[in-house]
Amino acid sequence: MSLLLTLCFYFLFSLSHGSPSPPVTPHLDGLLKNGDFEQPPSKASLNKTVIIGKYSLPHWKIKGLVEYISGGPQPGGFYFPVPRGVHAVRLGNEASISQYVRVKPGSIYSLTFGATRTCAQDEVLRVSVPGQSSDLPIQTLYSSNGGDTYAWAFKAASKFVPVTFHNPGVQEDPTCGPLLDAIAIKEILPPKYPKGNLVKNGDFETGPYVFKNFSTGILIPPKIQDLISPLPGWIIESLKPVKYIDKNHFNVPYGFAAIELVAGKESAIAQVIRTVPHKFYNLSFKIGDARNGCHGSMMVEAFAGMKTLKVPYTSQGKGGFKLAILKFQAVSNRTRITFYSAYYHTKLHDYGYMCGPVLDDVKVFSVRS
């Protein structure tokens, strides 16, 4: 009798309140579980620095030779910087770490991770989810303090996605491979067009997760290495990445974020916008420096329709910007706008730190001829 009463109560409750809602997957925006590797393996699971057992690193599954590293001087004369914390992992020959992440099927996610090579010039880091994989060359060091940070985006195909970081290389030293010191994830929500502006995400406010305690900027890989950009609306159509910077760590001309063109003509960013053939438009944008010690004569080249504009900027490395406007006539219903730095730059007192002019607040409005 009590069971019958319970069923009747549940039926009446459902009619008045609706069926219980399924759990909602939250917007991801932060470190993966033990994404900073500060939860160590047990002492029994370590042979010096080598982790023994595939589930010995909390919240991660490991395969192959994976080391648990503390930042600082290492045996053999090495020095491993760990700028975002104290601990990191190093992936040896053919080694990998992976973790399942609960996501929303069909949504776009961006991984932000600190990665640097440790001993081989040709080191590569393979980042993958089922159905999507990219090999990121990390032989070029963009910061001299081990602070290189990358972003890589993917589209979720199921509710639970295994995220894998793999060293596909085989070196003479089996421990030689990339160092990972922090891994975070962020759901990339579709940006909206501002009123009247034909450029999507022209202020770069929608982008990858930014580490709060330390940042040298986030390298956005070229399209050939990341088909889904962590910077919605934009195409990195060059051989080298561009750098995503935030106002908490750099000078930004407008809003929270901007783009630093860190590799000269090898670092180009573009967007295809909708236009009306023969109609005139103004392309406006701001350029400046990131207040990061990048010093000297800079120049950003902008392209739209059949027009080109070269915008010089003299940087003292202390922050600042200027506004530029390019008037162009559309020749088709699609127009590509492109920006790149004409010169290569490094910090004035640190030639190992690649830098360049900052681009921000990109707008296109129709005008009269």
For the chain, the straight-line distance linking the first and the last C-alpha, in angstroms and rounded, comes to 83
The Cα–Cα gap between 237 and 266 comes to 9
Is the separation of the CB atoms in 92 and 49 below 8 Å?
no
39-51 mean pLDDT: 96
Residue 20: predicted pLDDT? 43
Give the Å distances, CA to CA, from 15 to 1, 6, 19, 142. 22, 14, 8, 61
Q: Are 106 and 205 in contact (CB under 8 A)?
A: no
Q: Do the first three CATH levels of 29-187 and 192-208+220-367 match, i.e. the same topology?
A: yes
Q: For 311-330, what is the mean pLDDT?
A: 94
pLDDT, tens digit (0-9, with 9 covering 90-100), for 302-319: 999 999 999 999 998 889
pLDDT single digits (tens) 230-249 = 999 999 988 899 999 999 99
Write the Ramachandran bin of 30: left for phi over 0, alpha for psi from -120 to 50, otherwise beta.
left
Give the residue extent of every domain in the chain. 29-187, 192-208+220-367
Mention the CATH class of domain 192-208+220-367. mainly beta
- Confidence bin at 23 (pLDDT 50/70/90): low
Average pLDDT, the chain: 90
Residue 26: the pLDDT is: 63
Torsion of CA 283, 285, 287, 290, to 10 degrees: -150
> SS3 of 10, please?
helix
Cross-strand bridge partners of residue 366:
281
Cβ–Cβ < 8 Å for 169, 177:
yes
Q: Cα dist. 146→175, 293, 356 in Å?
A: 18, 17, 19
- Of 123, 127, 241, whose CA–CA distance to 175 is shortest? 123
pLDDT bin (cut points 50, 70, 90) of residue 5 is very low
Strand-pairing partners, residue 102, are 160
3-state secondary structure of 7: helix
Q: How far apart are CA 173 and CA 267, in angstroms?
A: 33
Measured CA to CA, the distance from residue 176 to residue 204 in angstroms comes to: 36
29-187 topology per CATH:
Jelly Rolls (2.60.120)
The amino acid at residue 236 is I
Structure tokens at 84: 């975002």
Fill in the DSSP letter of residue 40: P
